[in-house]
Amino acid sequence: MEKIKKYRKRDLTAYVILRALVILTIIIQAFRGNWQNVFLGFLTLVLFMIPSIIDRKLNIKLPTVLETIILLFIFSAEILGEIQNFYGIFKHWDTILHTINGFLCAAIGFSLIDILNRSEKFHTKMTPVFVALVAFCFSMTIGVLWEFFEYGMDKSFNTDMQKDKMLSQISTVELNSEKKNVPVKIENIEYTKIVGTMNDEKKEITINNGYLDIGLNDTMGDLIVNFIGAVIFSIIGLLYIKGRDEYKFAENFIPILKNKNS
């Protein structure tokens, strides 16, 4: 009971509602026999425990706003995105999540350096610009590692985490008739024909209105919006260090080291 009281009311409400929705989703997917979705549901419940683990094991306090955003982010990515197919239904769902991810990771990276910078045990003091730069680099590194994970899953388990996109034009040296390193530009692609084996049967598939890109544009788009999110928070963090009282709203996104008595 004492542990529950440590949570702020808003934290507890968001946690309980989202956890209940995940459990309901697991039950529904189990009745439907979608065991992969059941696994995603249990994975979501495990991920929901991360803020609590950080709080108790690492002695780091997550602000209420940040903790709520993290929970909503996990729910939006796994339950809404994967199980409810929001990635397919809403065109920019993945873009929004990657932008938020860039913002959140920059906040976490910023807090790690800011904690060291303000610690009496850490003798080297870093400039505000350097702290913001490290936060940006931390966020981009996490974004790149995630794209590595998506690529690995697609190659190893034949998933489609790096979503394909239709393109109306391409530029490639492979179609240069003289085999020169000069790209050939093909515009207004009407259709693409694919001949291959599907379910042990030879198939011929015609894709209308363009060329099927196999994930490159999706990956680069994810990294670009991750970059935008990281830049936004890095600027906020830079301003916060220079004037903590003036930009106090930034504290809603920055984890802090708890006091020994807290």
Which amino acid, 51? P
pLDDT score of 205 more than 50 = yes
Q: What is the DSSP string of 153-182?
A: HHHHH----S--EEES-EEESTT-TT--S-
pLDDT score of 262 more than 60 = no
What distances in angstroms separate CA 161 from CA 135, 151, 203, one per listed residue? 26, 7, 24
Residue ranges of domains in the chain: 1-90, 92-152+214-255, 165-212
Q: How confident is the model over 17-41, as a mean pLDDT?
A: 94
Q: How confident is the model over 1-29, as a mean pLDDT?
A: 76
Predicted local distance difference test score (pLDDT) of residue 4: 42
Predicted local distance difference test score (pLDDT) of residue 114: 83
Q: What is the pLDDT of residues 230-248, one digit of tens each?
A: 999 999 999 998 888 888 8
User: pTM for the complete prediction?
Assistant: 0.85
CB 99 within 8 A of CB 226: yes
- Considering the chain, what percentage of its residues have pLDDT values greater than 90? 49
Nearest partner of 229 among 145, 127, 63, 109, judged by Cα: 109
Q: What is the pLDDT of residues 94-108, one digit of tens each?
A: 999 999 999 999 999
Nearest partner of 214 among 199, 231, 192, judged by Cα: 192
How are beta strands 211-213 and 165-167 bridged, if at all? antiparallel
The span from the CA of 69 to the CA of 72, in Å, is 5
What distances in angstroms separate CA 229 from CA 143, 176, 236, one per listed residue? 11, 39, 11
pLDDT score of 3 more than 50 = no
